[in-house]
């Protein structure tokens, strides 16, 4: 199932959404270039979220070595930078497709500034939750999954009855259908299982992870809560 549009008319141009999609795609093309020169592993390991490493750095900063705060600060920056890194073609295409379809409508409701705030804050919060609840993960977690989960949560709260124009692919046959938006809340988490398809060859790295279910669930709730509060103001 491929979402291609919704039945909600947007009066405002989703400028921020255009920029977010564009920046993510450009950075991924840069990653592909680094992949050819075997330099991608350094980028992913330096700027991906590695929960075990961050927790160790925090522990050292509090109890052993105050200089470790430099490492903590550097690693916390990865909570934002990792939002714009993707490790496979399926991950970047899936994320950007969902962002394109659902993000433009949410931006038209929230406005440019609040939309960008929700995107970045939810992505950051997703990483914090993952660091706390999955402290033993040793591979980098990358991708805009958490931010997009928040956008999806906000969308479902505002437009629970919306219809999503979708395409069902059946071998070479493409069938256009309308699917309730609430269904994509479920499908979003299911498709995470396929994000390893078309993975880049991260030489010198320790693979990567795009799946952070607890963090994404927290981001989803964040987006839904943000939209609920916005509606009451």
- Asked whether 2 and 191 are in contact (CB, 8 A), the reply is no
pLDDT band at 9 (very low <50, low <70, confident <90, very high): confident
Q: How far apart are CA 213 and CA 85, in angstroms?
A: 18
Residue with the larger pLDDT of the pair 168 and 49:
49
The most confident of 84-98, 102-116, 156-170, 219-233, by mean pLDDT: 102-116
For residue 174, pLDDT over 80 is answered with no
For residue 84, pLDDT over 90 is answered with yes
Q: How far apart are CA 31 and CA 160, in angstroms?
A: 36
* pLDDT tens per residue, range 138-159: 888 888 999 999 999 999 999 9
pLDDT band at 206 (very low <50, low <70, confident <90, very high): very low
What does the pLDDT read at residue 173? Answer: 60
What does the pLDDT read at residue 53? Answer: 86
Q: How far apart are CA 155 and CA 106, in angstroms?
A: 6
What does the pLDDT read at residue 196? Answer: 58
User: What pTM was estimated for this model as a whole?
Assistant: 0.86
For residue 187, pLDDT over 90 is answered with no
Q: How far apart are CA 222 and CA 233, in angstroms?
A: 17
Nearest to 205 by CA among 32, 47, 28: 47
For residue 209, pLDDT over 70 is answered with no
What does the pLDDT read at residue 147? Answer: 93
Out of 39-43, 136-140, 175-179, pick the least confident. 175-179
Burial class (CB in 10 A: 0-12, 13-18, 19+), 132: middle
For residue 210, pLDDT over 60 is answered with no
pLDDT band at 59 (very low <50, low <70, confident <90, very high): confident
What does the pLDDT read at residue 18? Answer: 96
Nearest to 58 by CA among 74, 81, 43, 45: 74
What does the pLDDT read at residue 138? Answer: 83
What does the pLDDT read at residue 136? Answer: 83
Mean pLDDT of 172-201: 71
Mean pLDDT of 95-121: 94
């Amino acid at each position: 199932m491929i979402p291609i549009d919704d039945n909600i008319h947007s009066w405002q141009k989703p400028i921020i959404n255009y920029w977010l999609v564009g920046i993510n795609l450009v950075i991924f093309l840069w990653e592909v270039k680094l992949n050819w020169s075997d330099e991608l592993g350094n980028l992913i390991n330096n700027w991906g979220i590695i929960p075990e490493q961050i927790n160790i750095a925090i522990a050292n900063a509090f109890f052993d070595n105050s200089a470790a705060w430099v490492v903590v600060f550097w690693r916390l920056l990865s909570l934002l930078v990792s939002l714009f890194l993707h490790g496979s073609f399926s991950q970047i295409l899936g994320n950007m497709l969902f962002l394109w379809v659902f993000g433009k409508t949410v931006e038209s409701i929230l406005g440019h500034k609040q939309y960008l705030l929700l995107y970045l804050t939810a992505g950051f919060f997703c990483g914090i939750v993952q660091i706390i609840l999955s402290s033993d993960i040793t591979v980098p977690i990358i991708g805009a999954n958490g931010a997009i989960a928040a956008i999806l949560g906000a969308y479902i709260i505002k437009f629970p009855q919306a219809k999503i124009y979708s395409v069902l692919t059946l071998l070479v046959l493409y069938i256009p259908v309308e699917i309730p938006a609430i269904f994509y809340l479920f499908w979003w988490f299911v498709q995470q299982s396929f994000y390893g398809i078309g993975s880049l060859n991260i030489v010198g790295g320790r693979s990567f992870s795009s799946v952070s279910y607890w963090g994404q669930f927290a981001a989803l709730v964040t987006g839904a809560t943000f939209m609920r509060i916005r509606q009451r103001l």
